[in-house]
Amino acid sequence: MAELPSKSKGFIDWYLAVVEAANLTDKRYGVKGMNVWTPYGFLARRALDAVMVREIEATGSQPVEFPTLIPQTEFQKEKEHIKGFDAQVYWVTRGGATELDVPLVLRPTSETAMYPIFQLWIRSHRDLPLNVYQIVNTFRYETKTTRPFLRVREIHFFEEHTCQVNEAAATARVASNLGAFRRMADALALPYVAIRRPDWDKFPGAFYSVALDIPVGEARTLQIGSIHHYRENFSRPYGIEFETADGGKSLVHQTTFGLSERLLGAVVAVHGDDRGVVFPPAVAPYQVVIVPIGGKGANAPVESAQSLATLLRERGIRTHVDVSEDRPGAKYYHWELAGVPVRLELGPREAEAGTATAVDRLGRKSVIGPAELGAAVERTLDEFRGALYEKALAEFRSAFETARHLDDLKATTKVRALSWCGQESCGHQIEQAIDGALLGTPEEEFPFASGDPGPCIACGSSSGTRWALAGRPL
């Protein structure tokens, strides 16, 4: 088997090789940027969806599914939105041989699909809040280099859309989304920073956008999700208004929350190492792989492995028993590459004693059992998630550094925290110096951006300065 390139020597080469070697996706499909989900990759995706569904429904959101095609007439109602997506949409212009009267857009995101219907659903203040989400495929004609999970043209997309009674309620929904994401990221053991994007980089049509970013080395950042506050920017053109308690009319304030398969890409990027993928248990296709090790003719370990697997599956643990002909060493290599959190080795002696040797994907070994095997495996998975988070957090912390001068940004290998006065011209000077982007201002408390930021790094002004982050978005 070919050696994986080293992660530290070249992130992108390593990333592409590891996704390929772990067989998460097949990118040989005939449309560039539209990839095939393999069985193994699909299991990871389904587990990720389950995490998103659990956390968003805990905040009172309900599932919906809207059609894939959007009439051009609806798509063009909010002018910033259409301007932002114009270059990226796929058009459907014919049904059979007939030219369509109104061309249709393959949804790049679903504001313009949902909002004409929200306008019908919402009549009174009693219909609010409306919090709904869907997990569907969206389509964007990417012109940049496509990469599995990170930049694709057919996107596996999670989108929540909400209507609130006023601006304060919409702001509270943004905070609720941030809380839901904190719990999702915790399950994935992913440290991140929530950043309010500068005005020139917000979502087309938004009042403001909060992006969820992670550092991936060499000052690079990956946006893994976003939350937008729309105020009345969409409800006005779509006429989404309601009757207030005192009989007046008012427009709703809206928010959205978007995530995608990029989260899987982030899991690979952050946790993976030179031996392959490392899945946190929450999204691992198999959380446990049991490798029975028997001498010739000995079948006791296989039987024990099967009954242990049954016991674990009854507890909801995704378990696979590897009974292939390969030698144990080859099996270990394969499942490490595939990122399985915990491997259980079961030889004749263990089978007889009712124990198993557990080896987690960080290489930590323990003997579990004979009593409470199921609980012991659960505990091992939990501890693994905790250790994975600690490791990721140490790398996260070392990815940032404070900058005091524009010169600090040149050729930097760190994402930089700096003082910014808020002016767009200074923002662009910062972007030029780092050869990247002013990511924005941290939305929540952030260790690298506390205390007095001092004078603006670009113009030297001390008035109205705030902490900002600058890096090189992937």
**Residues between 392 and 421 with contacts to Zn ion, criterion CB under 5 A:** 421
| Least gap, CB of 426 to Zn ion (angstroms) | 3
Size of site (CB under 5 A) for Zn ion: 6
| Least gap, CB of 406 to Zn ion (angstroms) | 11
- Extract the tokens encoding 266: 């982030």
What sign has the CA pseudo-torsion 279, 284, 287, 290?
negative
Contacting range for Zn ion; rule: CB under 5 A; set: 65-73, 144-152, 324-332, 425-433: 425-433
| Least gap, CB of 434 to Zn ion (angstroms) | 15
Which residue's CB is nearer to Zn ion, number 354 or number 464?
A: 464
Report yes or no: 150 and 265 within 8 Å, Cβ to Cβ: yes
Q: What is the identity of the amino acid at 271?
A: H
- Among residues 458, 468, 469, 470, which is the contact residue for Zn ion, using CB under 5 A? 458
Kindly give the residue spans of alpha helices, DSSP state H, lying in 213-353.
235-238, 262-271, 300-314, 328-337, 348-353
Which residue's CB is nearer to Zn ion, number 438 or number 474?
A: 438
Site string for Zn ion, 75-114 (x = CB under 5 A): ----------------------------------------
Q: Which residues contact 123 (CB under 8 A, 6 or more apart)?
A: 242, 243
| Least gap, CB of 417 to Zn ion (angstroms) | 15
Which residue's CB is nearer to Zn ion, number 244 or number 425?
A: 425
Name the DSSP letter for residue 212: E
Angstrom distances, CA of residue 272 to CA of 186, 212, 281, 308, 391? 17, 20, 14, 28, 11
Which residue's CB is nearer to Zn ion, number 194 or number 458?
A: 458
Three-state DSSP at 181 gives helix
Report yes or no: 224 and 214 within 8 Å, Cβ to Cβ: yes
Q: Which residues are bridge partners to 290 per DSSP?
A: 321, 344
Q: String of b and e for 307-329 (b: at least 16 CB within 10 Å)?
A: ebbeebeeeebbbbbbeeeeeee
- Extract the tokens encoding 348: 């004749």
- Among residues 426, 433, 439, 469, which is the contact residue for Zn ion, using CB under 5 A? 426
- The length of the chain in residues reads 474
Residue 459 interacting with Zn ion (CB under 5 A): yes
Contacting range for Zn ion; rule: CB under 5 A; set: 113-121, 216-224, 404-412, 459-467: 459-467
Distance, CA of 80 to CA of 216 (rounded, Å):
31
| Least gap, CB of 210 to Zn ion (angstroms) | 22
| Least gap, CB of 458 to Zn ion (angstroms) | 5
Contacting range for Zn ion; rule: CB under 5 A; set: 32-40, 125-133, 319-327, 453-461: 453-461
| Least gap, CB of 362 to Zn ion (angstroms) | 44
| Least gap, CB of 226 to Zn ion (angstroms) | 26
Of 44, 49, 54, which is closest to residue 268 (Cα–Cα)?
Answer: 44
- Among residues 170, 240, 269, 456, which is the contact residue for Zn ion, using CB under 5 A? 456
Residues at the interface with Zn ion (CB under 5 A): 421, 423, 426, 456, 458-459
